[in-house]
Structure 1
Amino acid sequence: MPRRHGRCSAATPCGCWGSPMTDAPTLPDYLRPGLDLVFVGINPGAYSASVGKYFATPQNRFWAALNRSGLTGGRECGPGDEEWLFEHRAIGFTDVVKRASNSASSLRAADFRAWAPLTREKLLAASPLVVCFNGITGYKWFLQYAESRKQDDVALGEQQDRLGASRVFVAPNPSPANASYSLDDIAGWYRRLGELIARARAGRDG
């Protein structure tokens, strides 16, 4: 089960990772050892945090793309199915920054300095087969604030660097604000993600 404490707050994120932030609602982490995949968003949207479900805004294309990708095993999933994916598909969820906002553009450097290193620690502790960042920008910010390095040439797909033992993959941001990629495009990248998971699983079991 994910480590949760009722309605999680930005002051005390799931897993008891304290941070001197606001006491606003945020989303729970779905993290544990033994996962195949963890999706990492930039930060929870205000609406998603208010209802306690990842990618809950109807216009967000995450769930539709995930369902087309095959990663759900044929089940039609949507907001609120995080627990099922966690238990039955070994898929987890977290964010670079746990402070919710209406837009990621409202995040400050201080938010990333406070949260990104904690997210890195949580991912290292969970050590999934694959960590998938939803969006190049989010991954760049993670590298800058969690690993103290800037990398301007990030491309979609599998990354050369690993996070501990975890392979790293970057997929398009499914936000409706990202008009550069269609729903089919995003689903295609999630299918490539599934292929990477299969290769990583074969390497682990072989």
Structure 2
Amino acid sequence: MRHDLAAARDKLLPDVLAPGLDVVFCGINPGLYSAATGHHFGRPGNRFWPALHLGGFTPTLLSPADQDQLPAHGLGITNLVPRATARADELTDAELRAGAKRLTAVAERYRPTMIAVVGVTAYRTAFGRKKAAIGPQDELIADSRLWVLPNPSGLNAHYQLPALGDAFAELRAALDR
């Protein structure tokens, strides 16, 4: 698989989107494993899929290979930066700022109720909000409400899976309000 990962560098991973979704989750960018497999949040150990289930968004635990089922649950996935890298710190600030414009275009086209950016540091850079925190944001993207979630990568030691599930559940509860 090592050779396949190297070949995945800069590969683009298609979005999972449809008009009128409840939530579009926006990752930072695909990792090499995700690009190689063609599945968002695809690396074993990534906690996106368990957090999605723990947060009440899916009735069963989905796997990365199930990503095409998300629109049936009112959910979608995109990324700030579409190109795959080994680490998010390989992205430039300019790429992240361009990602904010890209995300705005996604919101204008698909009109989700909520956009959830998964990763507060990337959100701060992309949108120029240096003091942004996890949770609801004051601004809208197009007509979509904006929420920031913790990065579900296994490298994010600040959030263990139960706390990550709670953060996703808070977003889920906000949809019902």
TM-score normalized with structure 1 length: 0.77
CA shift at 1:141, angstroms? 2.4
Give me the whole-angstrom Cα distance separating, in 2, the residues matched to 1:162 and 1:98: 22
Q: Does 1:76 align with 2:46?
A: no
Kindly report the root-mean-square deviation, in angstroms, between the aligned alpha carbons of the 2 structures.
1.5
Query: Structure 1 residues 48, 171: CA separation in 2 closer, same or farther (over 3 Å shift)?
Result: same
Aligned residues: 169
Q: Does 1:29 align with 2:21?
A: no
Q: Deviations over 1:96-129 (max 9, x none)?
A: 0001001000112343355442232122211100
CA shift at 1:26, angstroms? 1.9
Give me the whole-angstrom Cα distance separating, in 2, the residues matched to 1:169 and 1:40: 10
Q: Which residue of 1 aligns with 2:145?
A: 167
Larger Rg: 1
Question: Which amino acid letter does the alignment assign opposite residue 124 of structure 1?
Answer: E
Verify the 8 A CA contact 1:41 1:138 in the aligned structure 2: no
Verify the 8 A CA contact 1:99 1:111 in the aligned structure 2: no
Counting only pairs closer than 5 Å after superposition, residues 189-204 of structure 1 correspond to structure 2 as 189-199=167-177
Question: Which amino acid letter does the alignment assign opposite residue 102 of structure 2?
Answer: L
Give me the whole-angstrom Cα distance separating, in 1, the residues matched to 2:174 and 2:19: 19
Which protein has greater RCO, CA pairs closer than 8 Å, 6+ apart?
Answer: 2
Residue of 178, 181, 203 corresponding to 2:159: 181
Query: Structure 1 residues 186, 153: CA separation in 2 closer, same or farther (over 3 Å shift)?
Result: same
Question: Which amino acid letter does the alignment assign opposite residue 90 of structure 2?
Answer: S
Q: Give the 3-state SS of the residue equivalent to 2:106 in structure 1.
A: helix
Q: Which runs of 5+ in 1 are unaligned?
A: 1-22, 144-149, 200-206
Residue of 97, 121, 134 corresponding to 1:156: 134
Q: Which runs of 5+ in 2 are unaligned?
A: 1-8
Q: Does 1:98 align with 2:82?
A: yes
Question: Which amino acid letter does the alignment assign opposite residue 83 of structure 1?
Answer: D
User: Which structure's residues are more often strand, by fraction?
Assistant: 2
CA shift at 1:142, angstroms? 2.3
User: Which structure's residues are more often helix, by fraction?
Assistant: 2
Residue of 105, 110, 120 corresponding to 2:104: 120
Q: Which runs of 4+ in 1 moved over 4 A?
A: none
Give me the whole-angstrom Cα distance separating, in 2, the residues matched to 1:85 and 1:76: 12
